[in-house]
Amino acid sequence: MRARLPAVAPDAPESFDTILRDFREQIAPAMTHWGHPGWFAYFPSNSSPPSVLGELLSAGLGAQCMSWETSPAATELEQTVMSWYRQLLSLPEQFTGVIQDSASSATLVAFLTARDRVGVDHERLVAYWSSEAHSSVAKAARLADIPVERQRVVPVDGEFAMQPGALATMLADDARQGLVPGIIVATMGTTSSTACDPLRAIGQIARDHKVWFHVDAAFGGSAAIVPELRPLLDGVELSDSMVTNPHKWLLTNFDCSAYFVRDVDALLHTFSIAPEYLRTRHDHDTTVVNFRDWGVPMGRRFRALKLWFVLRSYGAAAIRSMIRTHVALGHELAAWVDAEPGFERLAPAPLALVCLRHVPPALQGDETALARHNAALMARVNATGTVHLTHTTLGGKYAIRVAIGSFRTERRHVAEVWRLLREESQT
């Protein structure tokens, strides 16, 4: 597309009709359509009508939400909506929420706060996460200046969840060697397979060693608003911080990442800075907060508005029902895969993500050939243009991921992706 665009900005104004025509003819057809009902790639990134209207009003207001005084209603609505969301997730009352742009940023915030809490000893700080944790965790460690030598990758069990026993051993070994265990990151709903680390056992280890415990529930967290799925988040009350993204499953367009933290003073100690030109009459008023001190950026958009619109416009019951439907569709697809000769399911499917591969008898046991075969199968399915899939590896095996969660996805779309996978596996 780039080759078709002018190389320099126009000097004279262009009509909005021309600009919109270019949008329709040049931009829209060259986008990847994350909102399509056949979107089964990565994770869903839902953008519902009330959310889009919230974003529109927020852009129109053009407010800077760095402090209470620069945006009182935005600050207070963020507090209110984060409190609503905290209750929907059944998180402890001691948790306070703030909206960040992404789970990557929120996890970096957790690392920087944990490093700050360790203090002068932080050059011996060791960080722990499982081999299935998201890449943003290793990236946060790197950016927080924790080198590879002090990063511990804890092994997972057969269902891709962290082994707490292995974590405990690593921690004890490090402590014995004079290192300082400083942060443990557990995942509720890993990116590869939505595996859920045993938060309670991990949290207990974190408490025993006084280590910052961060829970990455970026995708999976939303499911915790459904009572029968809440057990997957059991033990989160032992954590120090937790991130979950309404901008994935919760009908709120990117960006809207909810970061919950137990010790707000620790967060403020790491991030607050108050030069004269930012001081307001309300800085020492304990009834208001200045969210610029709750993360990296000073400037902040009014993101609470769209989440407020979504929660009110749909109501919690309908959102729970949507998540239940997606999870049930995932179970149904998992059952279809299990029943189909030649197909293999590679992980449990607790959260609407099914990981599978096709195993022709001739290729059995040959991982390289199976990877090539399934990559080609996925490419053929994607080439139909009806659905979009992405892949991962699980225990060294190439896996096709079918991530259900777009709010436009119905049973017939899941049936279609399954039909395409079977059909293309025969060519």
Map the footprint of a second copy across residues 72-101, applying CB under 8 A. 72-74, 76-77, 79-80, 83-85, 87-88, 101
Report the residue number, 200 or 269, with the smaller CB distance to a second copy: 269
Secondary-structure percent of the chain, ordered helix, strand, coil, rounded to 5: 50, 15, 35
Owner of token pair 């139909």: 384
Interaction with a second copy in 127-156: which residues (CB under 8 A)? 134-136, 138-139, 142-145
For a second copy, the closer of residues 226 and 238 by Cβ is 226
Nearest alpha-carbon partner for 319 in 409, 223, 183, 206: 223
Contacts to a second copy from residues 312-371, by CB under 8 A: 312-318
On whether the CB atoms of residues 54 and 308 are closer than 8 A, the answer is: yes
* Phi, psi for residue 232 in degrees, rounded to 5: -65, -20
Residue from 25, 56, 338, 366 touching a second copy (CB under 8 A): that is 56
User: How many residues in the shown chain lie near a second copy by CB under 8 A?
Assistant: 111
User: Do residues 280 and 67 touch, judged by C-beta distance below 8 A?
Assistant: yes
Q: How many degrees, rounded to 5, is the angle at CA 233 between CA 97 and CA 323? A: 85
Q: How far is the CB of 213 from a second copy (least distance, A)?
A: 21
Coil, strand or helix: which one is 153?
strand
DSSP 3-state of 393: strand
Provide, rounded to whole angstroms, the least separation between the CB of residue 360 and a second copy.
22
Minimal distance, residue 426 CB to a second copy, in Å:
24
- 347-367 in b/e form (b: 16+ CB < 10 A) is bbbbbbbbbbbbbeeebeeee
Question: Closest by alpha carbon to 290, among 75, 63, 61?
Answer: 75
- The interface with a second copy within residues 246-305 (CB under 8 A) comprises 247, 253-255, 270-271, 273-278, 296-299, 301, 305
Q: Which stretch binds a second copy (CB under 8 A): 148-156, 200-208, 233-241, 391-399?
A: 391-399
User: Closest CB to a second copy among 51 and 96?
Assistant: 51
Print the binding letters for residues 211-250 with a second copy: x by CB under 8 A, - otherwise.
Answer: ------------------------------------x---
User: Do the Cβ atoms of 109 and 295 come closer than 8 Å?
Assistant: yes
Distance spanning both ends of the chain, measured CA to CA: 33
- Binders of a second copy among residues 111 to 130 (CB under 8 A) are 112, 115, 122-123
Put the strands of the sheet holding 180-187 in their side by side order.
96-100, 257-261, 241-244, 212-216, 180-187, 125-130, 151-154
Angle between helices 304-339 and 411-425 (to 10 degrees): 40
Query: Does 255 sit behind a cis peptide bond, omega within 30 degrees of 0 on the bond before it?
Result: yes
- Give the nearer residue to a second copy in terms of CB position, either 25 or 208: 25
Q: In this complex, which beta carbon is closest to a second copy, that of residue 102 or of residue 384?
A: 102
Is residue 47 within the footprint of a second copy (CB under 8 A)? yes
Q: Dihedral of CA 266/271/275/280: which sign?
A: negative
From 52-60, 227-235, 356-364, 409-417, span contacting a second copy (CB under 8 A): 52-60
123 vs 159, beta carbon nearer a second copy: 123
| Among positions 14, 93, 149, 265, the unique one binding a second copy when judged by CB under 8 A | 14
Q: What is the smallest separation between the CB atom of 14 and a second copy, expressed in angstroms?
A: 5
Residue 376 is a binding residue for a second copy (CB under 8 A): no
Residue 101 C-beta: closest distance to a second copy, Å: 6
Q: Which of 37, 70, 204, 282 lies at the binding interface for a second copy (CB under 8 A)?
A: 70
Binding mask 188-217 for a second copy (x = CB under 8 A): ---xx-------------------------
d(CA 187, CA 189): 6
Q: Tell me: does residue 187 bind a second copy (CB under 8 A).
A: no
Work out how close the CB of 207 gets to a second copy at its nearest, in angstroms, rounded to a whole number: 26
Among the listed ranges 71-79, 175-183, 340-348, 414-422, the one in contact with a second copy (CB under 8 A) is 71-79
Q: Between β-strands 397-403 and 353-358, what pairing exists: parallel, antiparallel or unpaired?
A: antiparallel
Do the beta carbons of residue 390 and residue 32 sit within 8 Å? no
- Out of 42, 157, 204, 331, name the contact with a second copy by CB under 8 A: 42
> What is the Cα–Cα distance from 403 to 34, expressed in whole angstroms?
12
Applying CB under 8 A, which of residues 37, 61, 168, 198 lies at the interface with a second copy?
Answer: 61
Return d(Cα 109, Cα 136) in angstroms, integer: 12
Could you tell me if 148 and 204 are in contact, meaning their C-beta atoms sit under 8 angstroms apart? no
> Toward a second copy, which CB reaches closer, 112 or 154?
112
Is 121 or 208 the residue whose CB approaches a second copy more closely? 121
Single-letter amino acid code for the residue at 414: V
